[in-house]
Structure 1
């Protein structure tokens, strides 16, 4: 094989690999990134965000991070790993204040963000199994609004009650504090955030 053909082959392989990463970032569930507060939709965010990193620098809790190279076209954009560090819904939203393009905008108080909504796997959540746990409920910044407790009688037990968390997806901001503080360890945390990108892909 000539040197020119070898170089061309390598270049084609790189282009194909980049295309595969980009395709994965568009369609794979792993690319359903949890975005900063103030994102209006994933499509609007992608069209505006220039990956400048100012929102990441402004976050006082270091909740915002950079999407890695495996996210293809989304690489370099801000995202949140809720299990690692959730959004705290700051009263002054410093991340929004520094955004130069309006990719994140229009938030005034803790009810405004719509990053997604929490979803509970009832088969894994220990509260649904009858164990007393109110962690997600207690840490919710919109307690008794986004998360409430439903008191259910235990089957075949006339004395004890289950304290079952219920998510109001119309109020939940998707901040992820419930995910971060969930008492159940990996590999299967029973609560997760259904992101804007995931909702838009349905």
Structure 2
């Protein structure tokens, strides 16, 4: 037994080479440094001399504590970063950014999207991109820009089945039913069709030409002779692919594709159109046999021939008196 607190044993193996067994913690109590071993004038202290095994265990405890502390800091940092990105995602989506076909409404899409990038990999035309940090789009989410690269309207829609989380609706099987956005003629003053020049580029580039975009002739107030061929967008057939915006010949496109939440208004449920309600019920929109009821002043009637509101009786002999009473001079 040695004074350093360890018991050393040497055994002789078959080869005749001495080997030392593992250190065994001695039952000897820790020794203390006396005042004689200290510098002169140092107060008398009893400082325990830790054994080697105790030092090893203490080092393990310190390393474990440091590891747990650093891990907790890392998790907190990642959590704060995710929280910041989440808050940024809730409010940041530029008007030019469009989601791939089949995307859920923006709030549901951000909640469901796992930022895996599989839809980007599935796009054969490299149109869909993943937003990078610093861009005004929620980081890691897929998008495309109509002006630089519109959707090519793949018939098999490969990006939709590639989505593992359902952020892209797997129920979308026909690309013509996709609603990625809505084309809007944002600047009629810049559109050369409204200046009397023939263009029709957006009409000809539309995959649903004749349904999503039609051309309507209007009188030219400047010349009074030539018709203006005006593009008109029909929301019920527009897929929001963005081909019209890309094809616009102007330096800044006059026709733009916006997300549906920005492109469309909402009248509210309290607005009801009688003819639409009758149409939903399958009733006739015109009932010629129904009597017309008008709340008109006494002695007045409404003529359907075109003159409008007239009197049943002729005017009085004094025109000024008739006008003062709210009538109309003959």
- Give the TM-score of the pair, scaled to structure 2: 0.51
1:12 alignment counterpart = none
Q: Equivalent of 1:162, from 225, 228, 231? A: 228
Q: Equivalent of 1:44, from 91, 104, 108? A: 108
Matches within 5 A, 1:177-192: 177-185=243-251, 188-192=252-256
Cα distance in 2, alignment partners of residues 113 and 129 from structure 1 = 33
* C-alpha distance 29-55 of structure 1, shift in aligned 2 (>3 A): closer
1:89 alignment counterpart = 153
Q: Equivalent of 1:112, from 177, 188, 199? A: 177
Aligned length: 186
SS of residue in 1 equivalent to 2:237? coil
* C-alpha distance 104-201 of structure 1, shift in aligned 2 (>3 A): farther
Deviation at 1:156, TM superposition (A): 3.7
CA contact (8 A) 1:154 1:160 kept: yes
Q: Which runs of 5+ in 1 are unaligned?
A: 1-14
1:136 alignment counterpart = 202
* C-alpha distance 73-200 of structure 1, shift in aligned 2 (>3 A): farther
| Higher CA-based Rg | 2
* C-alpha distance 172-87 of structure 1, shift in aligned 2 (>3 A): same
Q: Equivalent of 1:68, from 132, 137, 140? A: 132
Cα distance in 1, alignment partners of residues 228 and 95 from structure 2 = 35
1:123 alignment counterpart = 189
* C-alpha distance 133-168 of structure 1, shift in aligned 2 (>3 A): same
1:79 alignment counterpart = 143
Cα deviations across residues 31-55 of structure 1 (Å, max 9, x unaligned)? Answer: 6631000013111211111111111
Cα deviations across residues 45-72 of structure 1 (Å, max 9, x unaligned)? Answer: 1111111111111111111111232346
Cα deviations across residues 84-113 of structure 1 (Å, max 9, x unaligned)? Answer: 110011100001121111111222223211
* C-alpha distance 197-57 of structure 1, shift in aligned 2 (>3 A): farther
1:59 alignment counterpart = 123
CA contact (8 A) 2:96 2:146 kept: no
Cα distance in 1, alignment partners of residues 227 and 264 from structure 2 = 37
Cα distance in 2, alignment partners of residues 200 and 146 from structure 1 = 15
* C-alpha distance 192-55 of structure 1, shift in aligned 2 (>3 A): same
1:9 alignment counterpart = none
